[in-house]
Amino acid sequence: MHPINQSGIDDDDILSLVYFLGDKFKYIEGLISVDIENKLEILASAAKYDNACTSCGSHRDNVDGMIGRTSGGCLVHTYTADGRSLSLLKVLMHNYCIYDCQYCVNRSSNDPPRAIFTPKELADLTISFYERNYIEGLFLSSGVIKNPDYTMELMYEAIRILRNVYLFNGYVHVKAIPGASNEIISKMGLIVDRMSVNIELPSEASLKLLAPNKQKQAILKPMEHIHDTIRQSKYELSVYKKAPNYIPAGQATQMIVGATPDTDYQIMRLSEGLYKKYWLRRVYYTAYMPVGTNTLLPTEKAPLMREHRLYQCDWMIRWYGYKVDELLSEQNPFLDPYLDPKCNWAMKNLSNFPIEVNTAPRESLLRVPGIGPGGADKIIAARKLGSLSFEALKKMRIVLKRAAYFITCNGRVYDHVIMTEEHIYRNLVSSAKLPEIDAPKQLTLFDTQPLMLSEMCKDLKHIG
C-alpha cells in the first residue's frame, strides 16, 4: 500500500472500495484500469448537469514559485472584463453514488458507465491541462462514495496535491457534499476559491419524494457553517491582512427547475431567503432533463425559457432592489414566458409611469424596462450638462423599444405610444420595432396620450 496523503486515503484503499461497490453497480471487472482518457470522458460527461461555472469572483495574482493565477473574470468559455476567454476543467471525482436521487443520472439504481479518479490522477490531469494552456482552473464535484466525509477527503486530497505539491495558484471551485462535517468543510475552504452546496429541489416535500436519502437540514448546515466562517474570516482580515482568506469567492447553490410542481414563486422566495441568510453569491437554476423512468418525474424536459425567466428575476432581486412579492404572488405564482419580469412588473404598475428622465431619481430610473444600472448612471451624468431628448437616449444605447412606454422627455411622450396595458403588451412581445422618433403622425381626437401643446401649435401652423 502506497500512501499518497495525510488523511490515510491511498490508491489501494480506493481500489478496494470500488471493487466492493462493484456488485451493487453491476461493476465490469477492470474498469478501474481504464486509461485516464476514458475516465475523463465518463466523468466529464457525468459532470455536465452541475451548473455553477460563471464568474469566479476571486482575484489572486501570480506568486513567485507558484503556477497560475486567479482572474476576476469568467470561466468555462466565458469572458473577462478585458475580453479574454477562459476555460475550466469541469469533472467529477467519481460517479459512484450510494444515494438514489431519482432526478440524477448517477443515482445508485441507474447503470451508466462508472469511473473514479485517484486524487493524484486528478491532480496530474489538471496540471497537465493547465501546462498545455487548455484550462485556467478546476471545477470539481462528485458522487457520494462510502459517506460524505470520505468523499470530501478524496476531493480535498486532490486539491491539496494541486496546491501544495504542484503549487497551483489558479481558480478552484468545489461542490461540498451535504452531510459532511464542519471539520472537512473548514479544511476545504482554506484551499479553494468557491464552494457550493446544492439545495437541488425547492421544497423539503420534493426532497423526501425524489431524494429520500437527503434531508433539508443536512444541506443547510454546511451553508450556515460556510457563512459563519466567511464572516469570521472577513473580520480577521480586517484586523490582520495576512490572515487566511476563507473561500474568497463565496458560496453558491443550484436548484433543479421543473422536476416537481414547485412554482416560480416558491423557488424565488427560497432564493431570496438564501441570499439574505447565507450571503450566497449566486443561486443557479437548471431546467430539468429526463434521466430516468420514474413515474413521479415529468417525461418531458422543462422549458429553457422558464430557467431564463428565473435568472432574470434573480438578477432583479440582487441588482435592482426588487422584492419577490413585487414580482410574483400566490395568486400569480409563475413568470410570464413571453415577457421579462421587469416589463411585466411595469405593466402591472402603470400608475407609477411615465416618469420624466430629466428629473427622476436613480431608484425610479432602475424600475424602467430598458434602463439598467449603467444606463441610469449615464442619464444622471448627462442631464447635468443639459436636457435629454429621446434622440439623446438612443445615442446612449438606452433600449427605447422597452423604455419608451414608461418615460417622458421634457414632458413629451414617445411617438405612437399609448399608455394602456394591452397596447404595451402587444408591442413588447412582438418583434416589430418602434417607429422612428420623427415619423409622421396623424392627429386624432381620440389619442389617450395627446401631443404636447407646443407640438400641436406647430402642426396647426403648417396647416394654416
Cβ atoms 311, 287 nearer than 8 A: no
Averaged over 53-70, what is the pLDDT?
A: 51
Averaged over 136-143, what is the pLDDT?
A: 93
Looking at residue 164, the DSSP 8-state letter turns out to be: I
Say yes or no to pLDDT of 89 above 70. yes
For residue 133, what pLDDT band results from cuts at 50, 70 and 90?
A: confident
Residue partners of 430: CB distance under 8 A and separation at least 6: none
Cis peptide before 369 (omega within 30 of 0): no
Cell of 240: 490582520
Cα–Cα distance, 385 to 301 (Å, whole number): 52
Taking all residues of the chain, what is their mean pLDDT, rounded to a whole number?
A: 83
Cβ atoms 108, 100 nearer than 8 A: yes
Say yes or no to pLDDT of 445 above 70. no
pLDDT tens digits for range 209-252: 999 999 999 999 999 999 999 999 999 999 998 999 999 999 99
Cβ atoms 112, 29 nearer than 8 A: no
Quote the pLDDT of residue 62. Answer: 54
147 class by beta-carbon count within 10 Å (0-12 exposed, 13-18 middle, 19+ buried):
middle
The half-sphere exposure of 181 on its side-chain side, counting CA atoms within 13 A, is 7
pLDDT tens digits for range 315-345: 999 999 999 999 999 999 999 999 999 999 9
Full set of structural domains in the chain with CATH: 11-327 (3.20.20.70), 341-463 (no CATH)
For residue 28, what pLDDT band results from cuts at 50, 70 and 90?
A: very low
List C-alpha distances in Å: 349 to 14, 87, 259, 379: 60, 43, 32, 23
Quote the pLDDT of residue 115. Answer: 93
Say yes or no to pLDDT of 414 above 50. yes
Cα–Cα distance, 378 to 383 (Å, whole number): 9
Q: What angle do CA 101, 105, 111 make, to 5 degrees?
A: 100
Cβ atoms 437, 390 nearer than 8 A: yes
Averaged over 298-306, what is the pLDDT?
A: 94
Say yes or no to pLDDT of 7 above 50. no
CA nearest neighbour of 52 among 180, 158, 200, 178: 200
Cβ atoms 171, 130 nearer than 8 A: no
Cα–Cα distance, 323 to 345 (Å, whole number): 11
Say yes or no to pLDDT of 259 above 60. yes
Say yes or no to pLDDT of 135 above 60. yes
Cα–Cα distance, 60 to 182 (Å, whole number): 26
For residue 123, what pLDDT band results from cuts at 50, 70 and 90?
A: very high
Among 4-13, 84-93, 150-159, 174-183, which stretch is predicted with the lowest mean pLDDT?
Answer: 4-13
Averaged over 405-428, what is the pLDDT?
A: 91
Strands (E), 24-86: 78-79, 85-86
CA nearest neighbour of 339 among 425, 211, 403: 425
Cα–Cα distance, 47 to 37 (Å, whole number): 15
Quote the pLDDT of residue 436. Answer: 46
Among 57-66, 116-125, 277-286, which stretch is predicted with the lowest mean pLDDT?
Answer: 57-66
Q: Burial code of 428-460, b = ≥16 C-beta within 10 A, e = fewer?
A: beeeeebeeeeeeeeeeeeeeeebeeeeeeeee
The half-sphere exposure of 12 on its side-chain side, counting CA atoms within 13 A, is 4
Quote the pLDDT of residue 51. Answer: 65
Quote the pLDDT of residue 270. Answer: 97
pLDDT tens digits for range 95-120: 999 999 999 999 999 999 999 999 99
Averaged over 419-432, what is the pLDDT?
A: 80
Amino acid occupying residue 227: H
pLDDT tens digits for range 158-208: 999 999 999 999 889 999 999 999 999 999 999 999 999 999 999 999 999
Query: Of the spans 7-16, 125-134, 359-368, which averages the highest pLDDT?
Result: 359-368
Task: Tell me how far the alpha carbon of residue 114 is from its chain's centroid.
Answer: 28
More confident residue, 29 or 210: 210
Quote the pLDDT of residue 457. Answer: 44
CB atoms within 10 A of CB 382: 17
Cα–Cα distance, 317 to 97 (Å, whole number): 35
Quote the pLDDT of residue 23. Answer: 42
